[in-house]
Structure 1
Amino acid sequence: MLTPVVRTILLLNVLVFILTSNNPGLIYQFGLRSFLSSDFNPVQLLTHMFMHAGFMHIFSNMLGLFIFGPMLERVWGPKRFTFFYFFTGIGAALLFSGINYFETIGMYDAARAYPINPSPEAFMDFVTRYASGMYDQVAGFIDQYEARPADPALIDGSIKIVNTYFSRQVYEPMVGASGAIFGVIMAFGMLFPNTQLFLLFPPIPIKAKYLVIFYGAYELYSGIYRAQASNVAHFAHIGGMLFAFILIKYWGSQRKTFY
């Protein structure tokens, strides 16, 4: 049975999803932007949690909240569960944004410098350093550019590719409640480690603690070794689990007020 806070969060996410489906511009206004973007606004650390990129995105997140959230709310109560949900969601966004900043600051400088002195060598260096995931897509262009380095059309084309790729990495908003949901999953695994969960894929029972370990290991691997073209914010997932772990351990040290 749904608990009050879980029900409210579910309804808000569904309502915002319907609203943004009819007005996609809201995602670009309230989705989480990079710290390097001129469109970054601190309020996006909160608002991005209620926006999703598509039906399967919101479905998977809300399913996780529906399955694991009510038990936590019953144990903690509405106030503590609400604080936990937003603490992990915003914490995840901060971790993701921080890592994104350090990953893209070099790209930011390179993208600004490239149009000043474009060349096949500089273009190849940019692709190798910051955009190796798209190498196969531009391999033919690189061959042409190396064969005709003074061709104005190819020079302009290379500048456009650099700017487009940089813009996609820096200015595309990150949306979704995944950070908070992974925090909820982490909390469930820590508070109810031996609870048997029955998975659909594969259809086998598994204890909650092992499911959390699997999720955490997979997201850490994906976050470090993901293709650069990936738009999955794996470090937001890891951040949700990390902040959940920290908060629960802190609450555990305050036994007089825990639960």
Structure 2
Amino acid sequence: MFTITPTVRNLLIINLLIFLSATFFHWENLLVNLFGLRYIFSPDFQAYQLLTYMFLQVSFGHFFGNMLALFFFGPILEMTWGAKRFLFYYLATGMAAGVIYSGVSYLQIAPVQNAAQTYYEQPTPENFDEFMAKYARRLHVENYSRFMAEFEANPNSQELINSSKENVNEIVTSKINTITYGASAVVFAILLAFAVLFPDRMIYLLIPPIPIKAKYLVGLYGAYELYAGIKANPDDIVAHFAHLSGMLAGYLILRYWKKQNGHFY
């Protein structure tokens, strides 16, 4: 018989209350701006965000997916580890994932800042088009094509150069001001732990409706997140490396426990 363990139940309640408060009182932007995880070199970064970001789910799909995974996989881990160790794992992987992802964000944003600086020094139509193709979400095709045609016809126009620099600066600023939030990193750490402890446990998927061993499911998840993260589609707003950061944080904690105790708990 399926049992919801105390810590999982309390975590579900906390996340539900925050989600409902944000929805009812329209606090989504307020909570995200205050408690979401900022880029570590942003002036708005605060250390407490490494803890608070994991409790923010402001869309129903985001909330439902993360809490569903916690509901199904969390109790098994809590019954295996005990409440204190499970809670430690939940919070520690979330915070560690935040630290790891902050490092990844730096590695992603620093090249954009360098490329922007290069463009400011050499603001040609070719360099602008190259920057936009590599780092920007696609603008409205008609407007972008019209601007590029005019810029290529008038490469020395100070007005067009200034406009292009403003666009580049907006892109850099938007990346620096990106806010990470949600329990996805923790959920991926939970999935990783489940696959390590119960690698051959069968999981029955809804879509497609097939059974698959935990180790294969989590392996496929990780491979997809790595592929999507490396591909770095400018139109993709999912923080794939945050998910991988959760898996890495979980793996490091599990390895430490195994080294200390001879097993993963």
Same-fold status (TM-score > 0.5) = yes
Gaps of 5+ in 1: none
Listed one character per residue, the Cα deviations across residues 144-191 of structure 1 (whole Å, up to 9, x for unaligned) are 211123445433431232122222211021111111100001111111
Equivalent position amino acid for 1:163 in 2: N
Deviation (angstroms), 1:119 = 3.6
Evaluate the alpha carbon distance shift between residue 239 and residue 39 of structure 1 in structure 2; reply closer, same or farther with a 3 A threshold: same
Gaps of 5+ in 2: none
Q: Is the 8 A contact 1:95 1:235 kept in 2?
A: no
Q: Is the 8 A contact 1:37 1:170 kept in 2?
A: yes
Aligned counterpart, 2:75: 70
TM-align CA RMSD: 2.2
Deviation (angstroms), 1:42 = 1.4
Evaluate the alpha carbon distance shift between residue 167 and residue 52 of structure 1 in structure 2; reply closer, same or farther with a 3 A threshold: farther
Aligned counterpart, 2:201: 195
Aligned counterpart, 1:82: 87
Give me the whole-angstrom Cα distance separating, in 1, the residues matched to 2:199 and 2:118.
Answer: 52
Give me the whole-angstrom Cα distance separating, in 2, the residues matched to 1:173 and 1:236.
Answer: 12
Q: Is the 8 A contact 1:16 1:50 kept in 2?
A: yes
Q: 2:259 aligns with which of 238, 253, 259?
A: 253
1:229 is paired with a residue whose SS is coil
1:206 is paired with a residue whose SS is strand
Q: Is the 8 A contact 1:120 1:149 kept in 2?
A: yes
Listed one character per residue, the Cα deviations across residues 35-84 of structure 1 (whole Å, up to 9, x for unaligned) are 23211111111111011241101110111100100010111111100111
Q: Is the 8 A contact 2:195 2:215 kept in 1?
A: yes
Between 1:17-26 and 1:146-155, the stretch displaced more is: 146-155
Aligned counterpart, 2:233: 227
Listed one character per residue, the Cα deviations across residues 208-248 of structure 1 (whole Å, up to 9, x for unaligned) are 11111111111111111130232111111111111212211
Give me the whole-angstrom Cα distance separating, in 1, the residues matched to 2:235 and 2:172.
Answer: 12
Aligned counterpart, 1:134: 138
Deviation (angstroms), 1:96 = 1.5
Between 1:137-146 and 1:219-228, the stretch displaced more is: 137-146
1:197 is paired with a residue whose SS is strand
Q: Does 1:184 align with 2:190?
A: yes
Evaluate the alpha carbon distance shift between residue 119 and residue 231 of structure 1 in structure 2; reply closer, same or farther with a 3 A threshold: same
Aligned counterpart, 2:173: 167
Give me the whole-angstrom Cα distance separating, in 2, the residues matched to 1:76 and 1:232.
Answer: 31
Deviation (angstroms), 1:136 = 7.5
Q: Is the 8 A contact 1:20 1:27 kept in 2?
A: no
Evaluate the alpha carbon distance shift between residue 256 and residue 216 of structure 1 in structure 2; reply closer, same or farther with a 3 A threshold: closer
Aligned counterpart, 2:32: 27
- TM-score normalised per structure 2: 0.88
Deviation (angstroms), 1:99 = 1.1
Q: 1:143 aligns with which of 141, 144, 149?
A: 149
Equivalent position amino acid for 2:112 in 1: M
Evaluate the alpha carbon distance shift between residue 90 and residue 193 of structure 1 in structure 2; reply closer, same or farther with a 3 A threshold: same
1:254 is paired with a residue whose SS is helix
2:246 is paired with a residue whose SS is helix
Which runs of structure 2 are paired with 1:204-223 in the superposition (5 Å)? 204-223=210-229
The size of the alignment, in residue pairs, is 258
Give me the whole-angstrom Cα distance separating, in 2, the residues matched to 1:40 and 1:175.
Answer: 13
- TM-score normalised per structure 1: 0.90
2:212 is paired with a residue whose SS is strand
Aligned counterpart, 1:92: 97
Give me the whole-angstrom Cα distance separating, in 2, the residues matched to 1:207 and 1:258.
Answer: 19
Equivalent position amino acid for 2:108 in 1: E
Q: Is the 8 A contact 2:254 2:264 kept in 1?
A: no
Equivalent position amino acid for 1:162 in 2: V
Aligned counterpart, 2:51: 46
Give me the whole-angstrom Cα distance separating, in 1, the residues matched to 2:178 and 2:167.
Answer: 16
Aligned residues with identical type, % of pairs: 43
